[in-house]
């Protein structure tokens, strides 16, 4: 397999993943971003923790999540637990975030 074939395969996989994301995002209430993964979920519990020597880390528990990872054969996961020393971003998805922008550039119709 040439490097061009590999790049084409990865581009096709990423496009397929984006299409799947677009199809499922409306089913979820939260977006969770960690250093390594991007998740959609309806239940997220983020708990700051500290080690014995005072270092801060985060424990994130999610239920019924969808994982953005083109190398996973199954992206729906019943339970996820992430422990990380890096930043974690949790955002609530509002339905207006899911609406497509007008195709006319936002100009009002006449």
Decide: residue 46, CB within 10 A, 0-12 exposed, 13-18 middle, 19+ buried. middle
- Specify the residue for token string 């270092």: 55
What is the pTM (predicted TM-score) of this model? 0.77
pLDDT of residue 110: 46
Parse the chain into domains and list their residue ranges: 3-92
Residues paired with residue 90 on neighbouring β-strands, in sequence order: 32
**Nearest partner of 68 among 5, 24, 11, judged by Cα:** 24
- For the chain, 110 residues long, give each residue's pLDDT as a single digit of tens: 788 988 888 899 899 999 999 999 999 999 999 999 999 999 999 999 999 999 999 999 999 999 999 888 889 999 999 999 999 999 999 876 556 556 665 555 54
């Amino acid at each position: 397999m040439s490097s061009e074939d590999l790049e084409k395969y990865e581009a096709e996989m990423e496009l397929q993943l984006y299409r799947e994301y677009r199809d499922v995002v409306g089913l979820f209430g939260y977006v969770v971003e960690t250093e390594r993964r991007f998740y959609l979920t309806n239940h997220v519990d983020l708990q700051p923790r500290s080690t014995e020597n005072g270092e801060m880390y985060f424990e994130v528990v999610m239920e019924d999540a969808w994982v953005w990872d083109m190398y996973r054969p199954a992206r729906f996961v019943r339970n996820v637990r992430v422990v990380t020393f890096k930043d974690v971003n949790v955002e609530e998805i509002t339905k207006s975030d899911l609406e497509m922008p007008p195709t006319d550039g936002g100009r009002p119709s006449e």
